[in-house]
Structure 1
Amino acid sequence: MDPGIYQEFKRKVRNRIAAMVGLLALVAAYGTAGFYYFEPMSLRDAFYMTIISITTVGYAEVIPLSDTGRMFAISTILLGVSSSGIALGILTNLVFEETLFKILRGKHMEKAIHNLNGHYIVCGYGTTGASITEELLLQGETVVVIENNPARAPHTNERTCFHLEGDARQDETLEQAHLSGAKGLATSLPEDADNVFVVLTARALNPDLRIVSRYKDADTQKKLLTAGANHAISPYQMGGQRLALAAANPILMEFIDKPIRQKGMLIHFVQVDVPEMAPIIGKALKNSLIREQSMGALLVGLVQKNGETVFNPGPDFRLDSVQQLLILGDDEQIKSLRLYLGH
C-alpha cells in the first residue's frame, strides 16, 4: 500500500475525531451559556442541565425553569440529539473505513509477498528478529517479517520489507510468506521449542531453503540441526565472544565489525553470488579478471557448490564450481563486480 495513502488515511482519522469532539464541545458550551444567562443558576448547574438535556436521561431540573428556559432547553435537546447522531455517524464511518483499509492493505501485502522471489523470511520481531531484519535490509535484501503481535510490527517498506501477521509455526502462514520462493529463513521466536517446530515445518515445505535459528539452551542446538537448520546460533554465546574479542583484540574487532554493520561505511564484507554463465567459470583465478573488473576489490574467499569454503585461494585455483565470492570492497567496487559477473 502506498505510504502516501496511509498518511492520508491517518490525517482523515485525526480530522474526523477533532470534528466530532469539537461539535459536542460546541453544543455543551451553547447549552451551558444559555442556561446560565436565562436562569439564576451557577455555571456548574448550567453545565449539569446541559448534559442531562443533550443526553436525554431525564433527571430532575436543578431549579424550576421559566418559559424561556424551557424553550431554550428544547433547543439544547434538539441540538444535542442532532450532534450526537452526527458524531455517532462519524465514528461508525471511521470504524468501517479503518476495517476496509486494513482488509485492502492486507490483500495488497499478500499479493506483493506472493510475487517475491529470492527474499528472506524472519520469524519473530523481538530484539533479535529486529536486528536480523535491519542487517538484511542494509545488505539490500528483501525481507518478510512474520510477527503475530501487532504492537511489535515492523515499519514496512513498499519494496523491501513486508509484515505478515500470523503464527510462524503454521504451514499456512509460511506459505503466505511465499516460502517456496524464499532464499532463506531466520527464526528468532522466544521459545526454543517454537523455533525447532518452525525449522521442521520450513524444511518440510522447502528442502533447499537455507535456515538459521537462534536458541537459548545449549541442548536445543543439536535438535535444531537435526530438524534441518543449516546454522543454530546462541545470541548469548555470540555476544560473549564479541565482548571477549573487543576486550582482547579491539583493532581486529573494529576491522570485522565496522565494514559489516555500520551504515555509511566505505568498505563492506559481502557474499556475491556467481551465476551459472559468469565469465569467471572455468578459469584460473589469475585469469579471471576479478580484481580488474571490480576496480580493486579484495577476494577474501569463495564458496564451492558442494558447500566447501576456500579462504585466500591461490592464483592457480580454478573457478570451475564456484557458487559465491567473499568480497571486501566499497559500494562501487561491489557494483562493478556484480555487473561483470552478469547480475
Structure 2
Amino acid sequence: MEYLYEKTIQQIRFAVFLLLVIIGVGTLGYMLLEHWSLLDSFYMTIITISTTGFMEVKPLTPAGRLFTTLLIIAGVATIAYTGGRIVQFIIETQIFRRRRMSKKLDEVKNHFIVCGYGRMGKHVCEELKNAGQEFVIIEKDPQQIEQIIEEGFLFVAGDATQDEILLKARIERARGLVAVLSTDAENVFITLSAKVLNPNIFIVARAVEEETATKLQRAGADRVVKPYEIGGTRIAQVLLRPGVVDFIDLVTRERGVDLNFEEIQVQPHSPLIGKTLLETPLRKELNIIVIAIFRKDGTFIYNPTSSTVVQEGDRLIAIGSAKALQQLNNLCLVEDLSAATR
C-alpha cells in the first residue's frame, strides 16, 4: 500500500510537470507562429488548455489554428490525467490512513478508551497524552473526527454505545474506559456494555443528574464524576483555601515544575514488601514522600509513619520528582532492589 501511495505522488508530480511543459510550449508556439507578445501568448495558452471559451486574442493564421487544436487535445488530456491522479491520491490517502489506524489498533493493549471527544473528552485526552498513556477515542461527529486526525490521536469512528465499535477499540485489552458523552443515558448504556465485554475494566463515567450517578454505579462504573458538583466544590475551595488549591494545581497541572503526585501499586515479588518505610530508599535516596497507603482490604492509612510496613497490593500515594517516581514504580515491579534504583 505504501508503494502505491508513493507511486501516485510521483504520478501527480509528473502530471504537474507535464502541464507546465505544455503551457511553456503553447506560449512559445504562439510567440513563434503568430508573433504575439509573451503576455498575449501566455493568456491564449491558458484559455485554450482550460477550454474556457473566451474569444481569441487576435485572429489566428491556419498554422495557428492547427497548433491551437493540438494544444487543446494535449491540454485537456493532461488536465484530465492530473485530476484523475489527484482523486486517486485522495482516495488512497484515506485508505492508507484507515489501514495504518487499523494496524495500530491491532497492536494496542493496556490502554484507555475515551468515549466522546467533546469539551470534557478533549481535556481527558490532553491529560492522558501529557502522562504518556496510550488511549483510543471513540467519536461519531465528523467535525470532531477532523480535530482528532489533526491531533494525531488513535480513534474509532462510530457510536460508542454499540458493542461492535467498542470491540474495534480493543476493549477486551483495555485497562480503563471514560464515558463522557453528552447524555447520561448514553453513558449508562456504554457502562453496561463495557462491563459485559470486559468485566475487569476500570470505568469512569460522567453524570449530570444525581439519580443517574446511582444508575451508573449499579451498571458497573467504578467512579462517577459530576461536573457541576466538582465545579462548585472547586470554586468554594478557591475562596476558602486558595493556597491549598494553588499547591494541588502546581503538582498536578504545571508542566515546568518537576513535582508530581503518583499512585503506584506494589506488585508481588517487589523488594519493598515486608520492609518499613524507613528501611526503604524512598525518603533517604529518592526524596519521595508517601502521603497515604490504600491496603488491599480497603483500609486507608493517611500520613503513614516510618514504621509502617509495605505490603503486597498496597497502593502508594506519593509525591516527588518524575525521575524519583519512575524509580519507585520500578521498585514496585522488580525483584532486585539495587537494579530498580539505578
Superposition TM-score tier, normalisation by shorter sequence: 0.7 to 0.9
Other-structure match for 1:267: 259
Please give the alpha-carbon distance, in whole angstroms, between the structure 2 residues aligned to 1:309 and 1:124. Answer: 33
Superposed counterparts of 1:1-343, under 5 Å: 24=19, 27=22, 38=34, 51=47, 53-54=48-49, 65-113=60-108, 116-117=109-110, 119-148=111-140, 149=142, 150-153=145-148, 162-283=154-275, 285-286=276-277, 288-289=279-280, 291-292=282-283, 295-320=286-311, 322-343=313-334
Secondary structure at 1:291 match in 2: coil
Q: CA deviation at 1:340?
A: 2.5
8 Å contact 1:188–1:195 — kept in the other structure?
yes
Task: Tell me: CA distance 1:221–1:230, structure 2 relative to 1, closer, same or farther (3 Å).
Answer: same
Please give the alpha-carbon distance, in whole angstroms, between the structure 1 residues aligned to 2:40 and 2:192. Answer: 67
8 Å contact 1:211–1:230 — kept in the other structure?
yes
Please give the alpha-carbon distance, in whole angstroms, between the structure 2 residues aligned to 1:244 and 1:18. Answer: 62
8 Å contact 2:289–2:318 — kept in the other structure?
yes
- More displaced, 295-304 or 19-28? 19-28
Unaligned runs of 5+ in 1: none
**Alpha-carbon displacement from aligned partner over 1:82-121 (angstroms, at most 9, x marks no partner):** 32243134224423532442243133222222xx23x222
Secondary structure at 1:251 match in 2: helix
- More displaced, 271-280 or 66-75? 66-75
Q: CA deviation at 1:255?
A: 0.9
Q: CA deviation at 1:204?
A: 1.4
What is the TM-score normalised by the length of structure 2?
0.78
8 Å contact 1:281–1:320 — kept in the other structure?
yes
Please give the alpha-carbon distance, in whole angstroms, between the structure 1 residues aligned to 2:58 and 2:282. Answer: 95
| Alignment-mate amino acid for residue 34 of structure 2 | F
| Alignment-mate amino acid for residue 322 of structure 2 | D
Please give the alpha-carbon distance, in whole angstroms, between the structure 1 residues aligned to 2:206 and 2:176. Answer: 14
- More displaced, 267-276 or 139-148? 139-148
Q: How many residues align?
A: 326
Please give the alpha-carbon distance, in whole angstroms, between the structure 1 residues aligned to 2:231 and 2:28. Answer: 67
Unaligned runs of 5+ in 2: 335-342
**Alpha-carbon displacement from aligned partner over 1:211-232 (angstroms, at most 9, x marks no partner):** 1012333442222222111111
| Alignment-mate amino acid for residue 304 of structure 1 | R
Task: Tell me: CA distance 1:174–1:27, structure 2 relative to 1, closer, same or farther (3 Å).
Answer: same
Secondary structure at 1:152 match in 2: helix
Identity of aligned residues (%): 30
8 Å contact 2:293–2:300 — kept in the other structure?
yes
Secondary structure at 1:310 match in 2: strand
Task: Tell me: CA distance 1:220–1:293, structure 2 relative to 1, closer, same or farther (3 Å).
Answer: same
RMSD, aligned α-carbons? 3.7
Please give the alpha-carbon distance, in whole angstroms, between the structure 1 residues aligned to 2:248 and 2:228. Answer: 19
Q: CA deviation at 1:321?
A: 5.2
8 Å contact 1:269–1:328 — kept in the other structure?
yes
Please give the alpha-carbon distance, in whole angstroms, between the structure 1 residues aligned to 2:330 and 2:249. Answer: 27
What is the TM-score normalised by the length of structure 1?
0.78
Task: Tell me: CA distance 1:316–1:176, structure 2 relative to 1, closer, same or farther (3 Å).
Answer: same
Secondary structure at 2:82 match in 1: helix
Please give the alpha-carbon distance, in whole angstroms, between the structure 1 residues aligned to 2:21 and 2:229. Answer: 62
